[in-house]
Structure formats: structure tokens, C-alpha cells
């Protein structure tokens, strides 16, 4: 056998010895990359939590900069304080429209559900009360929104509202009581009064004495956060 033949035979045996190890290493590296990609995808999905606030001009932030509205402040607070506890990144969807009533909420909820929120804060009813809409109709509309969220597996936090007694004591009481009644019926958490410490306080409102100013929105953010944080933890 020639020297060149001997060399070829030796190289062939070396190649046969190392090839399975190379293939195993390559497969292991590929599997590791796939596992890493899956972990990244799962982590991304886990850390994206969307909260929809369905409301009126109070939620929209009428008369203040968008960054000063309580939904924007809530998003910042969740991402700075709640993120360390849950590992989630939070996106608050501002579903507030000036003048919106519970009837408007019914017509808009399906559209907002297309964004696939993970949680709903229902903050409607104030304009209904100011317009003297029958309490039964308000309750019926709120129930439709809560049910739409429930059918899509979305938990709801209900924000209660109150109206001044000059609308009639009987109507004012009936209006304020519909929120805790609804919360009990559907076993959902309740913020007793969204504007606690803000409503009727000149220092917390714009000159119209109806819409919160920047200070008022900060307090509303705190009220919502205190009700929301135990649910998210």
C-alpha cells in the first residue's frame, strides 16, 4: 500500500470518528437556539398586559395634557411600581370619549375588544346621571358591557359614580346604589367613587368645576391604582 493510500485511510477513519460528535453538537446547538426562541416568545407574551379604561371625558382627560390624564399616569405608575412585582409591562388603553354615556359604551365595547385587552376598567355612567337617564336603563347598559367582557374572559373593575342631590334625592340615591348592586350581582371589584376627594373640590378641578385638573387626575390615578394593584399582584 502506498503512503498516499495510508494517509487517505487514516483521514477517513478520523472523519468517521468525529462526524457523529459534530452532528450531535450541531443538533444540540440548534435545539438550544429553538428553546431560547420559545422562551423569548413566551416571555414576551407574559410581559404584555393591556388594560382598557372605557369612560367619558373624565377618562379622556378633557382640559389637561394627555400625559396628565389619569390613564397615562396609571400606565406610568404600573410600569414603575407593579412591574417589579409581576414582571409585566403594562399598556393602558384610553377608551374615554367626551360626552359618552353607558349606551355609547355598549356600542363601543366590541370595537375595543378587537385590541384584545387583558383587563377592563368600566368608568361610565356620570353623563347618564347628569342627563337624568332612568337608572334601570343605565344598569342594563352597564350589564351589557360587563357581560361582553366576561364572554371574552376579561375581568372587570367597576368605577362607581355619584351625582349631586339637586337631581332629586330619590334619583341620586338610586343612581349611586346601582354600582355596588351591579358589582355584587356579577361578583366584580368596585371603586366606590372614582372622584373621591376630587368631585366638588375647586382645587382639584378646572374652572368649569366638572372636569379634574392635573392635580385631580393624580388623585384619581391613586384611587384606581389602590383598587387595581391587589387584583394584579
For the chain, 233 residues long, give each residue's pLDDT as a single digit of tens: 554 444 444 444 444 444 444 444 444 444 444 444 433 334 344 558 999 999 999 999 999 999 999 999 999 999 999 999 999 999 999 999 999 999 999 999 999 999 999 999 999 999 999 999 999 999 999 999 999 999 999 999 999 999 988 889 999 999 999 999 999 999 999 999 999 999 999 999 999 999 999 999 999 999 999 999 999 99
pLDDT of amino acid 68: 98
- Regarding whether 55 and 8 lie in a shared domain, the answer is no
Residues 30 and 59 in one domain: no
Q: Which of 56, 128, 211, 217 does the annotation list as catalytic?
A: 211
Alpha helices in the chain (DSSP H): 3-46, 57-60, 70-77, 83-86, 102-113, 126-130, 135-151, 169-186, 214-232
**Domain identity same for 222 and 200:** yes
Q: pLDDT tens across 121-141, in order?
A: 999 999 999 999 999 999 999
Q: Are 89 and 49 in contact (CB under 8 A)?
A: yes
Residue 147's domain comprises 47-232
Evaluated on CA atoms 49, 54, 55, 57, the torsion sign reads: positive
Specify whether 187 is catalytic.
no
- One domain, residues 176 and 138: yes
My answer on whether 109 and 32 are in the same domain is: no
CATH of the domain at 62: 3.40.50.1110
What's the whole-model pTM score?
0.80
Q: Which residue in 56, 57, 69, 128 is the catalytic one?
A: 57
Domains: count for the chain? 2
Distances 92 to 22, 76, 115, 121, 129 between C-alpha atoms, Å: 50, 9, 11, 10, 26
When the pLDDT of each residue in the chain is averaged and rounded to a whole number, the result is 86
pLDDT of the residue at 58: 98
> Do 27 and 76 fall into the same domain?
no
Residues 89 and 169 in one domain: yes
Q: Within this chain, do residues 34 and 69 fall inside the same structural domain, yes or no?
A: no
208 a catalytic residue: yes
> Could you tell me if 37 and 89 lie in one domain?
no
**Residues 66, 166 within the same domain:** yes
Looking at the structure, tell me whether residues 73 and 27 fall in a common domain: no
Residue of 5, 84, 187, 208 with catalytic role? 208
Query: Quick check: is 211 catalytic?
Result: yes
pLDDT score, position 165: 87
Q: Verify that 6 and 112 share a domain, yes or no.
A: no
Amino acid at each position: 500500500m502506498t503512503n498516499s493510500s495510508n494517509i487517505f485511510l487514516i483521514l477517513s477513519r478520523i472523519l468517521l470518528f468525529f462526524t457523529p460528535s459534530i452532528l450531535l453538537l450541531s443538533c444540540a446547538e440548534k435545539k438550544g437556539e429553538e428553546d431560547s426562541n420559545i422562551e423569548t416568545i413566551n416571555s414576551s407574551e407574559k410581559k404584555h398586559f393591556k388594560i382598557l379604561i372605557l369612560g367619558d371625558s373624565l377618562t379622556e382627560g378633557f382640559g389637561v395634557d394627555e400625559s396628565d390624564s389619569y390613564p397615562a399616569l396609571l400606565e406610568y405608575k404600573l410600569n414603575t411600581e407593579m412591574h417589579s412585582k409581576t414582571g409585566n409591562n403594562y399598556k393602558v388603553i384610553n377608551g374615554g370619549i367626551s360626552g359618552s354615556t353607558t349606551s355609547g359604551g355598549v356600542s363601543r365595547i366590541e370595537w375595543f375588544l378587537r385590541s384584545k385587552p387583558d383587563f377592563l376598567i368600566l368608568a361610565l355612567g356620570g353623563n347618564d346621571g347628569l342627563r337624568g337617564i332612568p337608572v334601570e336603563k343605565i344598569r342594563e347598559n352597564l350589564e351589557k358591557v360587563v357581560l361582553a367582557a366576561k364572554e371574552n374572559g376579561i375581568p372587570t373593575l367597576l368605577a362607581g359614580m355619584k351625582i349631586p342631590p339637586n337631581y332629586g334625592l330619590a334619583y341620586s340615591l338610586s343612581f349611586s346604589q346601582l354600582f355596588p348592586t351591579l358589582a355584587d350581582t356579577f361578583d366584580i371589584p368596585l371603586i366606590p367613587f372614582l372622584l373621591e376627594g376630587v368631585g366638588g373640590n375647586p382645587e382639584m378641578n378646572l374652572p368649569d368645576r366638572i372636569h379634574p385638573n392635573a392635580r385631580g387626575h393624580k388623585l384619581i390615578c391613586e384611587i384606581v391604582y389602590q383598587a387595581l394593584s391587589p387584583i394584579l399582584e
